Structure formats: structure tokens, C-alpha cells
Amino acid sequence: GEVALVTGAASGIGRAIAAELRRAGAAVVAVDRDPRVRDEDAVDRVGVVGDVSDPEVMRRAAEAAVRGFGGLDVLVAAAGVFPEPTPIARLDPAGWDRGLRVNTTAVAHALTAAHPALVQAPRGGRVVLVSSKNVAAPGPGAAAYSASKSAAAQLARVAALEWAPDGIRVNLVEPDAVFDTGIWTPELLAERAAQYGMSVQEYKTRNLLGVEVSSTQVAEAVRVLVDGGLTATTGAHLTVDGGNDRVV
Ligand code: NAI
């Protein structure tokens, strides 16, 4: 089987991705600052506890893949934070720094740490960045989130250019809101629904398909991007949003 490194794998979308890739037969190195990332360890899974914005942590994680499972085929960067929303006129410097550090800098370190092993992947390395619909459609109060996720998306596109000669494909998934995650507290959800004059249920399903998009559905999109098909696809953005382009 193949070997995947997944960041942010203790919760939400990252956790669903780690589970989906294991179901598809991959061994997984799961990285998170939350020690619960170790709870599901098994012969095909190892948890690495640490801060993804520390290059040393990412180096250790890549090493765990090579030492423990014989190489690295897939990197999925899913760790992320949604800093407390604040308007630019009253920007919170700590939230700004945290957003940039986790959502941008840590992605750069993950790419750098994974590259030497990805180059060796027999079927060509594959990278997926969990980006956000917010990059194309930023919201008020989300300056730190929008700026940091946009910068990461640019990093991924540069990696797609630089690593094409190495046979490494780099793609992005762009979920809109995914509510079965740590980012969406009940308070944030109630506040957003009220902002649009909707009930919570209306707000959650405000897309063309009328579905509440789940972490598992995002994980399915990631699996399709890394499972060995789509061999002519790199630098692409795959939206996972119930088709909400024409809705709020
Ligand atoms: P989550 O809060 O459930 O999961 C994020 C995980 O990242 C947590 O386990 C957390 O401990 C980990 N993490 C955060 N900072 C870290 C650090 N410095 N070092 C190590 N681990 C760290 O939230 P969710 O929603 O599953 O987030 C996953 C990704 O999905 C993020 O990149 C987020 O920007 C993206 N996303 C989320 C959307 C949503 O509506 N939930 C929509 C679009 C994108």
C-alpha cells in the first residue's frame, strides 16, 4: 500500500481524510498538536504530536513515514485555524500572527519536509492542500483567515510548477463551510445564520444541492485527487460546497 502524511488529523476534515485514506489501503502518519491524534494508532497508522509550524516537527513526521512505512507517496496539509473574526479596523495582532503561522508558514514547512520522500514515490508524489472557498469569496471579519489561506494556495501553485518535473502533482480542495469540525462552534454558527437572517438549518444547507457538506465528503474529494487517477491534473482547485456559487 501507499503511505500518506496528513496534518491536522486529530479533528474535523484532517481526521476524516486520515480515515478515508486508511480505508483506501494507505498507511498514515497523522500529525496534530492535539495528543488525541495518537488515539487511533495501529499497524497502519502512527500519530505524531507537535506544532505543524515548527519545521522540526514536520521533518520528524516525514522521517516517521520513511522509517515506519518505507517512504511517502502523499502529503495532505489540513491543519488550520480560524482566528477569532475581527474587522480590519480593529485587527487582533495575535489572531493575525496565529493565522499566518498555522495556515501559511506551516504549509511551507510541510512541503519542504515532504519533498525528498515524495520525489522517490514510485507512482509520483501527490500533494493536496485543504484550501477554502473563502479564498475566492472572503467574508467580512476574516482578514487573517482569508489572507493566510490565499497565501497557502499560492504556495501550492508554486509547488505544482516547481515539482512537475519531479512527477509530483499538487492540487487543492476548496470546501465551503463544513460544520462537523472544531472550527464551527455553536456560537459562530448561530451568529452567521443570524447575519443572513436564516435559521441554522437553512444556513447549513444554503447551496444548490441543499446538503450539509460533511468532513467525509471533503475526504472523498482528497482521495480522488491522490488515488492514482487524474494523472494529468496538477495545480487544480476542486470545490466541495454543494454547488453554492449562486447562493449567499
Ligand atoms: P478542526 O479545528 O476540526 O481541525 C483542525 C485541526 O488542526 C485540529 O485538530 C487542530 O488541533 C489542528 N491544528 C491547528 N493548529 C495546529 C498546529 N499549529 N499544529 C498542529 N495541529 C494544529 O477544523 P477543520 O475545519 O477540520 O479544519 C481543517 C482544515 O479545513 C483547515 O485548514 C481549514 O482552514 C479548512 N477548512 C475548513 C472549513 C470549515 O468550514 N470547517 C471550510 C474550508 C476549509
Residue 246 has pLDDT above 70, yes or no: no
pTM of the model as a whole: 0.97
- What is the distance between the alpha carbons of residues 19 and 223, in angstroms, rounded to a whole number? 10
For this complex, say whether ipTM is above 0.90. Answer: yes
Predicted confidence (pLDDT) per residue in 25-44, tens digit: 999 999 999 999 999 999 99
* Residue-wise DSSP of 48-77: EES-TTSHHHHHHHHHHHHHHHS---EEEE
- What is the distance between the alpha carbons of residues 189 and 119, in angstroms, rounded to a whole number? 42
Give the pLDDT score at 128. 98
Structural domains in the chain? 3-179+213-240 (3.40.50.720)
Residue 244 has pLDDT above 90, yes or no: no
The answer to whether residues 223 and 24 touch, using CB atoms and an 8 Å cutoff, is: yes
Q: What is the percentage of the chain residues whose pLDDT exceeds 90?
A: 92
CA of 165 to the centre of ligand 1 (A): 31
- Burial (CB < 10 A; 0-12, 13-18, 19+), residue 63, is middle
- What is the distance between the alpha carbons of residues 212 and 204, in angstroms, rounded to a whole number? 6
- What is the distance between the alpha carbons of residues 178 and 187, in angstroms, rounded to a whole number? 15
- Burial (CB < 10 A; 0-12, 13-18, 19+), residue 234, is buried
With H, G, I as helix, E, B as strand and everything else as coil, classify residue 21. helix
Q: Give φ, ψ of 126 to 5 degrees.
A: -135, 140
Nearest CA to ligand 1 atom 12: 8
Based on the residue annotation, tell me whether 145 is a catalytic residue of this protein.
Answer: yes
Give the pLDDT score at 85. 87
List 145, 152, 169, 234, catalytic entry: 145
Give the pLDDT score at 140. 87
Predicted confidence (pLDDT) per residue in 153-167, tens digit: 999 999 999 999 999
Question: And the C-alpha cell for 37?
Answer: 491524534
Atom of ligand 1 nearest to the CA of 34: 11
CA of 12 to the centre of ligand 1 (A): 7
The ligand 1 site (C-beta within 6 Å) comprises 8, 10-14, 32-34, 51-53, 78-81, 102, 130, 132, 175, 177-178, 181-184
The answer to whether residues 28 and 45 touch, using CB atoms and an 8 Å cutoff, is: yes
Q: Which of 46-50, 92-96, 137-141 has the lowest mean pLDDT?
A: 137-141
Average pLDDT, the chain: 96
Region 113-136: mean pLDDT is 96
Nearest CA to ligand 1 atom 18: 51
Region 64-87: mean pLDDT is 96
Atom of ligand 1 nearest to the CA of 184: 41
Nearest CA to ligand 1 atom 40: 177
Region 15-24: mean pLDDT is 98
Q: Please report which confidence band the pLDDT of residue 101 belongs to, taking 50, 70 and 90 as the band edges.
A: very high
Residue 247 has pLDDT above 90, yes or no: no
Give the pLDDT score at 136. 87
The Cβ of residue 242 has, within 10 Å, a number of other Cβ atoms equal to 20
CA of 181 to the centre of ligand 1 (A): 8
Q: What is the percentage of the chain residues whose pLDDT exceeds 70?
A: 98
Atom of ligand 1 nearest to the CA of 133: 43
Region 167-190: mean pLDDT is 95
Which of 57, 81, 215 to probe ligand 1 with, by most ligand atoms within 8 A of CB? 81
116-151 b/e (C-beta count within 10 Å ≥ 16 → b): ebbeebeebbbbbbbbbbbbeebeebbbbbbbbbbb
CA of 10 to the centre of ligand 1 (A): 9
With H, G, I as helix, E, B as strand and everything else as coil, classify residue 42. strand
